[in-house]
Structure 1
Amino acid sequence: MKICILGAGALGCVIGAALSEAGHETWLLNRSAAHVDAMRRDGLWVHDEGGERAITVRASTSAAEIGAVDLVVVLVKSFHTEAAIAGAMALLGPDTTVLSLQNGLGHEDILAQAVGRERVLAGKTYVGGVLLAPGTVRSGVVGKHTYIGELDGSVSHRVLAIAEAFNSAGLATTVSENIVGTLWDKLLVNVATGALTGITRLTYGQLYSEPLLKATSLAAVAEAIAVATAAGVRLGLSEPETAWKLASEGLPASFKTSMLQSLEKGSITEIDFINGSVVRWGQRHGVPTPVNATLHACMKGVERAMADEQTRQNDARQQEEAKP
């Protein structure tokens, strides 16, 4: 199977590495020339339970170089979805399938509008990854499950073939007949830790040793469960404690959430698609979500402070360069 990972950052490289090692023609597509150059020159260095190793991978900054593929796995940040798929149309052939494994809710509709709903599959993965340096990632695959499915809940030949490819690569993958519920199950895990680590800047080891933060996490997840229930979503997770435990399962104490990683890179986060989604769905179905609303607001404040500091630094740099 010819596969392209659209948005081969930390998680994309972890999944792409597994698929490459399994013998699939897997392309890692990323905008960062430094990241792509490092992988082309030295291979993709993967640190996991077995140690570290370099994997020969195909990497590019250009969809045109890759050409049409059988499967596009979308792993760009939520707020880049529309622009990313618009710039990747060269990946689409007559039978190309587009699978979103992104965090949060709403990406499937964006992709469907761009490429046609008939091409789109939805999915969620609990695989973890951290980008240590250009061309180098820490991988968290063991014990982490991935779920994929057709938007209408049917079990098609194509979704079964993709699941088989993933499973053959050591990516434990299940076909879901209730993908909306699956999306919500993963959202609950993101709600459990994402915003809290972004606001506090704590690693998992630090977060999970603070009882007050656990209490806040459980309250946020409980709100999300109430919203999903009111919306008629069939959840696989029914207890906040389960989401809290799933978030860290199999990951080291040094692990940082994707939300915290984004902030450390000076980027905005996916908060609008995670806690923000809970708040919007809550408003739609008449369910109060004060904890999620507070976490969402605080994260927007963190992003604002970061943007203002970047502006201040840029202004200071320009003033310094303008001096005679």
Structure 2
Amino acid sequence: MKVCVLGAGALGCAIGGTLAEAGSEVWLINRSKVHVEAINREGLLMRHADGERTVRVQASTDCHGIGPADLVIVLVKSFDTRSAIEAAAPIVGEQTVVLSLQNGLGHEDILAEVVGRERVLAGKTYVGGVMLGPGHIVAGTRGKHTHIGELDGSISPRVQRIAAEFERAGLATTVSPNILGTMWDKLLINVATGALSGITGLTYGPLYSVPEIEQTALTAVAEAMAVARASGIRLSMQAPRQAWEMASAGLPPDFKTSMLQSLEKGSVTEIDFINGSVVRWGEKCGVPTPVNRTLVAAIKGIEHRMKQGAQAA
């Protein structure tokens, strides 16, 4: 299977590198010329719990010259979804399937507007990744599941083929007949740790050592679960602590959430698509979300401070 990873940062490299190592034809697409050149020159260096290994994989800063893919995995930042899929026209052929594994809610609708709803699959992954340098990542794949599905809940041959390709590479993958519920399950994970890690600047080890942080996380997840249930979403989790514990399962103490990584790079975050989604859905169904609203405000404040600092410089 020919797979193009659109937005091959740490997570995209973890998934794409794992697929490539198992024999899939993989292209990693990332705007960073330094990152791409390092991968093409030296290979992708992946650090796992049991050591490091180098994977030979193709990389590019754009989609020209690659040709149509069987599968395009979308992992760009939420706010870049439309521009990225529009620029991906050269790799989207008549038989190409587009799979979003992004954090948060709402990306599938954006993708469908550009490539057609019939091409789009939804999914969520618990695989993790941290960028250590150009062409060098920490890959958290062991014990981390990926869930994919058709938007209409059907179990189609194409989604089964993709799941089989992932499984062959050692990426535990399930085809979900309840993909909206699956997406909310992953959202709960992001709600548990993303904003709190970004606000405090803590990696998972110290983050999980502060009781007050744990209690705030559990309350934020409880709000999100209440919103989901009021909206008719079928969740697999029954208690907030499940999301809190799943967020860190199998990951090292120095693991950084994507929100913390964004802030450390001086970039805006995906807060509007994560805790912000909880707030918006809560407003629609009449469920109060004060903790999530506060976390959104805090992250927005940090982003504003960074913007002011950049302008002053």
Structure 2 counterpart of 1:312, one-letter code: A
Moved more, 58-67 or 194-203: 58-67
Correspondences of 1:1-324 after superposition (within 5 Å):
1-313=1-313
Mapped partners of 1:62, 1:262: distance in 2: 22
Amino acid at match of 1:53: R
Return the letter of the residue paired with 2:88.
Answer: A
CA displacement, residues 141-179 of structure 1 (integer Å, 9 cap, x when unaligned) = 001000000000000000000000000001000000000
Q: CA deviation at 1:210?
A: 0.2
Matched residue SS, 1:23:
coil
C-alpha distance in 2 between matches for 1:26 and 1:207: 35
Question: Offset of 1:50 from its aligned partner?
Answer: 2.3
- 2:233 aligned counterpart, secondary structure: coil
In 2, Cα distance between the equivalents of 1:264 and 1:88?
A: 28
Aligned residue type for 2:244: W
2: CA distance, partners of 1:54 / 1:156: 34
Q: Which has the larger radius of gyration?
A: 1
Q: Within 2, Cα distance between the matches of 1:48 and 1:104?
A: 26
Q: Which amino acid aligns with 2:59?
A: A
Question: Which amino acid in the other structure matches residue 69 of structure 1?
Answer: A
* Aligned counterparts of 2:136 and 2:185: Cα–Cα separation in 1: 30
Aligned partner of residue 65 in structure 1, secondary structure: coil
* In 1: Cα distance, 2:203 partner to 2:49 partner: 19
**Bigger CA drift: 171-180 or 48-57?**
48-57
Structure 1 residue 312, shift from structure 2 partner: 1.1
Mapped partners of 2:93, 2:53: distance in 1: 34
Cα distance in 1 for residues equivalent to 2:77 and 2:104: 10
Paired position in structure 2 for 1:316: none
Count of residues in correspondence between the two structures: 313
Distance in 1 between the 2:92 and 2:205 partners?
42
Segments ≥4 residues shifted beyond 4 Å: none
Of residues 49-58 and 12-21 in structure 1, the stretch that sits farther from structure 2 once superposed is 49-58
Equivalents in 1 of 2:267, 2:65: separation in Å?
27
Separation in 1, partners of 2:92, 2:209:
46
Paired-residue identity, %:
65
| Post-superposition CA distance 1:271-294 (Å, at most 9, x none) | 000000000000000000000000
| CA distance in structure 1 between the aligned counterparts of 2:140 and 2:219, rounded to whole angstroms | 27
Q: Normalising by the residue count of structure 1, what TM-score does the alignment of the two structures yield?
A: 0.96
Match of 1:319 in 2: none
- Secondary structure of 2:64's match? helix
Deviation (angstroms), 1:238: 1.5
Paired position in structure 2 for 1:317: none
Alpha-carbon separation, structure 2, partners of 1:298 and 1:6 = 30
TM-score, structure 2 as length reference: 0.99
Once the two structures are superposed, residues 109-156 of structure 1 have per-residue CA deviations (whole angstroms, 9 ceiling, x without a partner) of 000001000000000000010010000000100010000000000000
Give the Cα separation in 1 of the matches to 2:21 and 2:256. Answer: 25
Which 5+ residue runs of structure 1 have no aligned equivalent?
314-324
Instruction: Give, in whole Å, the separation in 2 of the partners of 1:7 and 1:271.
Output: 18
Distance 1:285 1:129 in 2: 34
Deviations, residues 40-76 of structure 1 (Å, cap 9, x unaligned): 1100001102211111111011201211000000000
